[in-house]
Amino acid sequence: MITENTQLAFFDMKALSHQDWADFGVNDMAYLKPVTLEGEHRYSIHAANGTPLAVMDTREVAAAAIMQNELEALSVH
């Protein structure tokens, strides 16, 4: 059921800037991204807005670091 509040929320979401979307979840989520550094496969950790946070040797260690900091781990392929 669409109410006035639902319509207002939809409008507000459409009004968000590109930066607003980039900052969405920045305190709750972190992304794992496979990278190659100096010829070695590693996993970089990025904040929800794309800010690089760390690089780890394995996916497991990267995921553990994210969870240890009470963030939700998401993968980028």
Q: For residue range 35-77, what is the model confidence (pLDDT) as tens digits?
A: 999 999 999 999 888 889 999 999 999 999 999 988 888 777 6
DSSP per-residue string spanning 4-57: HHHHHHHHHHHT--HHHHHHTTTTTEEEEEEEEETTEEEEEEEETTS-EEEEES
pTM, to two decimals: 0.65
Quickly list DSSP for 57-69: SSHHHHHHHHHHT
pLDDT at 77: 64
Least confident segment among 6-10, 11-15, 28-32, 41-45: 6-10
Q: What is the pLDDT of residue 5?
A: 52
